[in-house]
Structure formats: structure tokens, C-alpha cells
């Protein structure tokens, strides 16, 4: 027996329901389920959700549309069933709700469909039993350790598959572990070296993507030199701006032309001292001597001879202005050449510290070419200077001009390439982050490629693929045997169904429809299908009206048929005499008052009177049906052999905003069959009050409304042509007019505020109310049979007259 729904979480409108916290009786004790449980709740309060929990025990599954629900059911032997244990419990339960209807009576949603058949009883058929026997021999025994037939083959195939599965899984798990370690292990994992490999969120999934990349035929692995360059690159920091380089303007051609002019320029030979003209060294020595002697010595400091005026005149004519001007021109040009030499020498010094490492190899090559080109240019300048100096040493004699090679053609491209590298370095500063990211990715791919070689990845992969093929073959072999077993079991089931009589199931439904509801227009018939195979379903139920398949059933007809089908199914082979827990959810949808009563009658006669249940649950939203359910009663024989009454308890499902709870039904709803009974009870209580106090003042305050509504009902049925008025009140009280006038005043003044609004601002203290209540009770006692019936209906002693 189900004691309680211990808790429900995240299931429909039940958000966080706890039985021990919510379901308590008036004394504050936890109220458990009993033999018969009546549940009332308005529409959308959660009754169907409760029935679906019960049906989940029957079908052993719960809809996956609920998200992440949980619940726990507690039974009388302290056993528990949770969502996780649906497939393993041993509870016997049958549930009638909209899911049952949808699963078994599919024609309601699809008129062309049929009703799920069930068999109640069958006749033996020797031929069918022999066919079943042959099939069972082929199947063999499934007793553990003693398997035979197909079950023995299944055991071998299963063992083979499990071994193949184990071998494949073991090797595959080993490879997965190696890959996982490489991805996320703290010691060797790529994840923990983001400064080198660039991904601190690296996972095995990303590693497998990298493996795909490095396994591609067009993947180019980094060389050791490239690895070194990448390592330097990822260590780079943003460098300051490189000093601006402005290459000097070279004047080699101009200088060469000037040298040629000076070297080849002739000096006039008139008035020249031939001895000096022929001896350049002597000529230079004499010229220098002039500067040492003029205006300083009258005699030659070398030979101590007097230098005559005539000699000075000869020397001045020899060393004339033209030769001096040429010498000065040579000195000036030598100075220009020296300036050009220094400008070229200082024009550019390559400092690699200004550049990122990726440019260093280019800079090294460029520096070598720069020095070579600079040296060649300086040598060419030196050649020009050498020719000038030679002419200066022999100023009087023209020299042959030697035209040197112009080396500027080699130097200018070097300067331009340096400027280009400066621009590239500046541009690289803006893309350093992306270049480093790419470099880290390249290093990561190399690391992955190297690791695959280390663990012999391809060999492991080949072994795994081989073991997978063996596993798949074993699985296919096992599946083939399982399918053979399934087909034979299905044929056995089909044959056994032929031993049973589905037509009796349909007749049972028709019996309910005809005997309890007098519904002779609809019948249920068992139809045979001519299947293409032996496994095809041979029986289906169809709804027949006037000899033809019925379509467009009304909602009421669907409700009647569904409930009759459910009760008939309690006698099917799987259920009969098993006394399941029965849960019935709102079986009176779209039915009128008469049919509601018939549903109650059928339930009472076929379930309770026949004792087909171990425990019964009935839920409804209909107050008329609830009124009838209060009449349910019955007896059963207990273990001691004594006949005892079924226990009955009432509950309500209450929805508050978006969440529902389950509670013991309030007395006003469980005790009174109708509001008329309730109103009578309140008048009787008011008449019996000896003194008004805090325990009973509500009866006193409510008397006016209760009395007015009581008379409206009572006098309407007694005088349906008049209802309640002064005349009928007078007739009720007879010759004594005072109670009628008194009651009319109380009914009108104290059940309404209109016209006497100031009364609402003062407490009620009208002794006439109790007087009127007592007069009403005294008058009702005159009809002793009705009065006794009213007293019994509200649980009061019947000897009060």
C-alpha cells in the first residue's frame, strides 16, 4: 500500500512539495494514504501530474519533457520508489488518466486508428501449443549456467562481444589517456604552457583538431632554425621607434670630374726653371724653402750663399699664381673627398637591438653588404685622392687621369633595403600580437606532431581500428542472435494470444456500456487482421455504431468508452486477481449528471464491491462527482478472517500561483454532501449556543447569511412557484407570525448593509438571532423524518427531537 508521496521536485506544478510538511490532519499529525483515497482539485491544480507519477510506476518510465524532476514514493513496508528506481520496483499498479487513454485508445486522436486489444480468457488449442513448444525448444533454456539452444549461442556471442569490447575499450582508453595527458596534464600538458603554446584553455578536443591538422599531407613541420626564430619571436616585447635614417647624397661622379680636370690641367712653361720642372721633388723642396726664407734670411740657410734679387725674381716667375691656384684647388678638392669619405663612413651603422629577432638574419647579411659597399666606395674616393696628391706633388707636370669605378650603385640599394626593413619593423610592431599567436600555434603543432611520433600514434590507431572491426563483428553476430530470439519470442507471444480470447475483452466493455449506462448505440468489436507475416497483430478493437465503424464520437462518448475499457482491462490476463493499486483521474470529463452517477455506480459495483484493488485513488474536479464519491464504502476480510470496513480519507490539491501542494481536505468540503446540509448545520449550531464567546462567535456572525440562503433553498423546493418571501416565511412558521417577522428582519438587515450602512461600523449583538435559530429548528422538527435525516447528514445525534 502506498503511504505517501514523500516529495516532488520540479515536476509540473509541483515545485518543492514535501508530504510531512504539508499533509497534516487537524491535530497536526501527518496523514497517510488509506484504503480508499478521494482527491479533489480544481482544473490545472496538479491532479493529472499526480496520476502521471503513479502511471510512471506502471509503465516504468516518465516523460523526458519534464526537464530534471525528482520524486519519492513511500510504501507501507518502508520500501521506497524514486525516479531512478522506476525500472526495478515490484509494485503492481493500474492508472486511468489521459495518458492511458492516449496510449490505448488511439482512435480518439486518430479516427482511422483502433483500440489496443486485451485478452481476458482463452480456450486451449493443441496445435498452437505444439507450435509454441517447438519455438521454445529452439529458444532453449535461459537459466544461468545451464543455457541451451539460442540462449547458449547468445551467451557465447555476448562473451565474445564483451571481450572484443573490453580489448577495444582498453586500448582506446589508453590512447585517450595519453592524449588527455598531453592536453591537460600539469607536467606535460599543452594547457599549462600558454606562454609557449598560446592556449590556457586547451582541451583534448582541441588536441584532436590539431592532430587532424598535423596529419594532413600538406602540413609542413618547423625546422630547428624556424623553432629558434619562433621562440625568439614569442619573447619579443614592443620595441621603441627606430631612429630615422636619411641616406647622404653621394657626389662621386662630380668629384671624379673635378679630379680629372685638376690632374690633367697644364701649367704654362714660360719663365720656368728647367731644372725644377724636371725634378718634382726638388721643385717642391725649393717652393717650401721660399716660404722659409722670404723676408727672413738674406742668405741660403742650406749653402750660406747670398740670395740675389735676380734669383728671387726667377723663383717668383717659376712659382707663379697659376701653379699656386692649382695647388689650392687640389687641396680644396682633397678636403671635399675627405668629407665625402667621412659622410659615407658615418652614414649608417646597423644596430640589431633596434629590430625584432625575425629581422636579425636579414640585418646580418645587410650589414656585411653595407660594409663591403662602403669599403669599395671609400677605396674609389681614395683613388681620386691619390691622383690629386700625385699631381700636387708634381704640380708643374700634367698626369694621366685614371677613371675609378662608381661604387655608389652598390651602396644605394643597401641603404634602401635598410629603410625598407625599418618600415617593416614599424609595421611589425602593430601586428606583433597576432604574429606571436601564430608562432605559438606553429610551435604547438610541432609539439603535437613530435608527441605523435613519441607515442607511436599511428600504430596505436591502426590497432584500435582493427579491434573496433572485431568488436563490430561480434556485436553484429550478437545482434543477429538477439533478433532471432526476439522473433521467436514474438511468435510465441503471438501464438499464446491465439490461446486467449480478445473478443471477451470487447464483450466486457459492451457489458458495462449496456448494463450501467444503457448505451446500446456504441459497441466494441474485436476485428482480425490478415497480416503478411506470422508476427503481424491479428486482433484489433474497433468502435461500432449501427454496424459500421464509428467516427466523430462526442467527448462524453469517449469518456464513457475509455472508463469502461479501463475497468474491463482490470480483468485481463495480466491483471485479474492481482489486486493492484488503482488510480483513477477525473473519469467524468464532459459527462452530464446522470452519467456522472453511473460512473460512480460502476466504480462502486465493479471495483469496491468486488474488492479488485489493494488500494484505490480517485481524483476529480467535479463537486457533483465528489458528492457521490463520499458514498463509497465497502468491506473486506482481513488477515484474521474478520470482515472490516475500508478506511477512507479525503485530500485536496491546491494551486497557489505557479506551484501546487497536497493537503488533507477541509471539513467543510469533506463532511457536507451539499451546501443545504452545511447551512442547516450552522443554524443548528447557532440554536444550540448557550453563550457567545471567542470559540463560537463566527456561527453567530454568519447566522443572517446562512439563514437567508437556507430559506431560499428550502422554501424554493417547498413553494417552487414563489420561493422565499414574507408569505412563504409566514407559511413556514404557521400561525405564529412573530418568528417570521423576526427572521425576515434578521435576513434583510443583518445579511445586507444596504440602507443601514451605519450598522457595519458597530459589532453584532442581537439576541433575536438565537431566538430565530431556535424557532427554525423547532419548526423543522415537526417533519421528524426530514429532521432526523438532516441531523444524520451533519453528524449530529439523532435523538435531539
Residue 318's nearest CA partner among 269, 264, 266 is 269
pLDDT at 117 over 50: yes
Query: If pLDDT is split at 50, 70 and 90, which confidence band does 201 have?
Result: very high
pLDDT at 612 over 60: yes
Arithmetic mean of pLDDT over the chain: 83
pLDDT at position 47:
92
pLDDT at 239 over 80: no
Average pLDDT of 38-53?
92
pLDDT at 800 over 60: no
Burial class (CB in 10 A: 0-12, 13-18, 19+), 612: buried
Residue 386's nearest CA partner among 255, 480, 275, 265 is 255
Percent of the chain with pLDDT over 90: 33
> In the block, which residue shows the cell 457521490?
628
Burial class (CB in 10 A: 0-12, 13-18, 19+), 747: buried
Residue 427's nearest CA partner among 435, 439, 417, 416 is 435
Lowest mean pLDDT among 248-252, 293-297, 383-387: 293-297
- Per residue in 418-445, is it b (16+ CB within 10 Å) or e — as a string? bbebbeebeebeeebeebbeebbbbbbb
Lowest mean pLDDT among 187-191, 500-504, 736-740: 736-740
pLDDT at position 6:
96
> In the block, which residue shows the cell 679630379?
259
pLDDT at position 449:
93
Lowest mean pLDDT among 341-350, 749-758, 780-789: 749-758
For residues 556 and 289, which has the higher predicted lDDT (pLDDT)? Answer: 556
pLDDT at 198 over 80: yes
pLDDT at position 764:
44
For residues 319 and 501, which has the higher predicted lDDT (pLDDT)? Answer: 501
Residue 643's nearest CA partner among 689, 670, 611 is 611
The Cα–Cα gap between 88 and 77 comes to: 16
pLDDT at position 798:
56
pLDDT at position 758:
47
For 65-114, write each residue's pLDDT tens digit: 888 999 999 998 889 999 999 989 999 999 999 998 888 887 776 777 77
Average pLDDT of 325-339?
88
Average pLDDT of 478-500?
84
pLDDT at 317 over 70: no
Average pLDDT of 339-350?
89
CB atoms within 10 A of CB 655: 16
Lowest mean pLDDT among 126-140, 295-309, 555-569: 295-309
For residues 157 and 758, which has the higher predicted lDDT (pLDDT)? Answer: 157
Backbone φ, ψ for residue 154 (5° rounding): -60, -40
For residues 580 and 571, which has the higher predicted lDDT (pLDDT)? Answer: 580
Residues 6+ apart with CB under 8 A from 307: 293, 297, 298, 299, 300
For 383-429, write each residue's pLDDT tens digit: 999 999 888 887 878 889 998 888 888 888 999 998 899 888 888 77
Cα–Cα–Cα angle for 157, 160, 165, rounded to 5 degrees: 120
Q: How many CA atoms lie within 13 A of 303 on its CB side?
A: 4
The Cα–Cα gap between 770 and 327 comes to: 154
Residue 681's nearest CA partner among 792, 765, 778, 784 is 792
| DSSP strands (E only) in 590-658 | 615-620, 635-637, 643-645, 648-656
Q: Where are the alpha helices (DSSP H) in 221-279?
A: 224-234, 252-263, 274-278
Out of 3.40.50.300, 2.120.10.30, 3.20.20.370, 3.50.50.60, the CATH code matching 1-92+579-665 is: 3.40.50.300
The Cα–Cα gap between 307 and 662 comes to: 148
Length of the chain equals 801
pLDDT at position 131:
85
Cα–Cα–Cα angle for 543, 546, 549, rounded to 5 degrees: 35
Written as nine digits, the cell of 333 is 678638392
CB atoms within 10 A of CB 60: 12
Q: Give the chain's largest Cα–Cα span.
A: 193
User: Is the model's pTM score more than 0.85?
Assistant: no
Average pLDDT of 679-691?
84
For 531-547, write each residue's pLDDT tens digit: 544 444 556 778 787 77
The Cα–Cα gap between 487 and 494 comes to: 10
Average pLDDT of 9-34?
93
pLDDT at position 536:
47
- How does DSSP assign 509-531, residue by residue? HHHHHHHHH---SEEEEEEE---
Query: If pLDDT is split at 50, 70 and 90, which confidence band does 319 have?
Result: low
For 597-611, write each residue's pLDDT tens digit: 888 888 999 999 999
Amino acid at each position: 500500500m502506498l503511504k505517501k508521496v514523500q516529495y516532488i521536485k520540479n515536476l509540473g506544478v509541483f515545485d518543492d512539495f514535501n508530504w510531512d510538511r504539508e499533509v497534516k490532519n487537524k491535530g497536526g499529525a501527518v496523514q497517510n494514504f488509506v484504503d480508499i483515497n478521494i482527491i479533489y482539485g480544481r482544473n490545472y491544480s496538479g491532479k493529472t501530474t499526480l496520476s502521471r507519477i503513479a502511471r510512471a510506476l506502471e509503465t516504468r518510465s516518465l516523460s523526458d519533457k519534464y526537464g530534471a524532476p525528482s520524486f519519492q514514493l513511500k510504501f507501507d513496508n518502508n520500501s521506497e520508489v524514486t525516479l531512478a528506481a522506476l525500472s526495478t520496483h515490484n509494485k503492481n499498479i493500474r492508472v486511468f488518466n489521459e495518458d492511458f487513454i492516449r496510449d490505448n485508445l488511439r482512435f480518439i486522436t486518430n479516427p482511422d486508428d483502433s483500440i489496443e486489444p486485451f485478452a481476458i480468457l482463452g480456450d486451449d488449442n493443441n496445435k498452437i501449443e505444439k507450435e509454441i513448444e517447438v519455438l521454445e525448444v529452439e529458444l532453449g533454456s535461459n537459466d544461468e549456467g545451464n543455457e541451451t539452444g539460442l540462449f547458449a549461442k547468445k551467451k557465447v556471442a555476448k562473451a565474445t562481444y564483451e571481450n572484443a569490447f573490453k580489448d577495444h575499450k582498453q586500448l582506446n582508453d589508453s590512447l585517450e589517456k595519453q592524449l588527455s595527458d598531453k592536453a591537460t596534464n600539469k607536467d606535460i600538458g599543452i594547457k599549462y604552457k600558454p606562454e609557449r603554446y598560446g592556449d590556457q584553455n586547451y582541451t583534448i578536443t582541441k588536441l584532436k583538431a590539431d592532430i587532424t591538422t598535423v596529419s594532413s599531407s600538406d602540413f609542413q613541420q618547423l625546422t630547428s632554425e624556424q623553432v629558434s626564430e619562433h621562440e625568439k619571436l614569442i619573447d619579443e616585447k614592443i620595441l621603441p621607434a627606430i631612429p630615422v635614417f636619411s641616406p647622404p647624397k653621394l657626389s662621386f661622379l662630380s668629384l671624379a670630374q673635378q679630379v680629372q680636370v685638376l690632374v690633367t690641367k697644364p701649367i704654362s712653361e714660360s719663365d720656368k726653371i728647367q731644372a725644377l720642372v724636371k725634378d718634382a721633388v726638388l721643385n717642391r723642396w725649393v717652393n717650401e724653402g721660399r716660404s722659409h726664407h722670404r723676408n727672413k734670411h738674406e742668405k741660403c740657410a742650406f749653402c750660406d750663399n747670398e740670395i740675389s734679387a735676380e734669383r728671387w725674381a726667377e723663383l717668383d716667375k717659376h712659382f707663379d699664381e697659376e701653379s699656386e691656384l692649382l695647388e689650392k684647388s687640389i687641396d680644396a678638392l682633397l678636403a671635399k673627398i675627405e668629407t665625402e669619405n667621412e659622410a659615407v663612413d658615418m652614414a649608417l651603422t646597423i644596430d640589431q637591438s633596434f629590430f625584432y629577432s625575425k629581422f636579425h638574419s636579414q640585418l646580418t647579411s645587410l650589414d656585411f653588404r653595407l660594409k663591403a659597399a662602403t669599403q669599395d666606395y671609400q677605396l674609389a674616393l681614395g683613388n681620386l685622392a691619390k691622383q690629386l696628391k700625385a699631381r700636387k706633388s708634381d704640380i708643374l707636370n700634367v698626369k694621366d687621369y685614371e677613371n675609378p669605378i662608381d661604387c655608389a650603385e652598390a651602396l644605394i640599394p643597401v641603404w634602401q633595403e635598410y629603410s625598407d626593413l625599418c618600415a617593416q619593423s614599424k609595421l611589425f610592431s602593430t601586428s606583433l600580437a597576432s604574429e606571436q599567436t601564430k608562432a605559438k600555434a606553429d610551435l604547438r603543432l610541432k609539439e603535437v606532431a613530435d608527441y605523435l611520433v613519441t607515442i607511436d600514434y599511428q600504430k596505436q590507431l591502426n590497432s584500435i581500428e582493427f579491434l573496433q572491426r572485431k568488436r563490430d563483428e561480434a556485436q553484429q553476430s550478437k545482434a543477429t542472435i538477439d533478433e532471432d530470439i526476439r522473433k521467436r519470442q514474438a511468435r510465441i507471444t503471438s501464438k499464446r494470444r491465439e490461446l486467449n480470447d480478445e473478443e471477451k475483452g470487447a464483450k466486457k466493455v459492451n457489458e458495462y456500456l449496456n448494463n450501467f449506462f444503457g448505451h446500446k448505440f456504441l459497441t466494441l468489436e474485436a476485428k482480425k487482421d490478415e497480416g503478411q507475416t506470422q508476427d503481424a497483430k491479428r486482433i484489433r478493437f474497433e468502435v461500432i455504431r449501427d454496424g459500421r465503424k464509428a467516427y466523430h464520437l462526442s467527448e462524453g462518448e469517449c469518456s464513457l468508452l475509455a472508463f469502461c475499457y479501463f475497468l474491463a482491462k482490470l480483468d485481463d490476463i495480466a491483471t485479474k486477481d492481482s489486486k493492484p493499486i488503482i488510480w483513477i483521474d477525473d473519469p467524468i470529463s464532459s459527462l452530464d449528471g446522470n452519467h456522472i452517477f453511473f460512473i460512480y455506480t460502476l466504480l462502486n459495483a465493479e471495483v469496491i464491491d468486488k474488492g479488485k484493488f489493494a488500494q484505490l485513488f480517485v481524483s476529480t474536479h467535479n463537486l457533483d462527482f465528489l458528492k457521490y464519491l463520499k458514498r463509497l464504502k465497502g468491506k473486506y476480510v482481513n488477515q484474521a478472517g474478520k470482515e472490516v470496513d475500508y478506511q477512507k480519507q479525503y485530500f485536496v490539491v491546491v494551486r497557489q500561483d505557479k506551484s501546487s501542494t497536497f493537503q488533507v481536505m477541509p471539513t467543510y468540503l469533506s463532511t457536507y454532501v451539499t451546501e443545504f446540509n452545511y447551512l442547516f448545520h450552522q443554524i443548528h449550531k447557532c440554536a444550540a449556543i448557550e453563550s457567545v464567546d471567542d470559540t463560537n462567535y463566527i456561527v453567530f456572525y454568519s447566522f443572517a447569511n446562512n439563514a437567508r440562503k437556507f430559506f431560499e433553498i428550502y422554501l424554493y423546493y417547498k413553494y417552487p412557484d414563489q420561493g422565499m418571501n414574507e408569505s412563504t416565511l409566514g407559511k413556514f412558521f404557521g400561525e405564529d407570525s412573530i418568528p417570521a417577522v423576526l427572521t425576515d428582519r434578521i435576513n434583510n438587515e443583518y445579511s445586507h448593509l444596504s440602507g443601514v450602512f451605519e450598522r457595519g461600523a458597530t459589532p453584532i449583538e442581537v439576541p433575536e438571532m438565537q431566538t430565530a435559530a431556535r424557532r427554525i429548528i423547532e419548526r423543522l422538527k415537526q417533519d421528524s423524518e426530514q429532521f432526523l435525516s438532516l441531523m444524520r447528514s451533519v453528524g449530529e445525534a439523532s435523538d435531539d427531537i
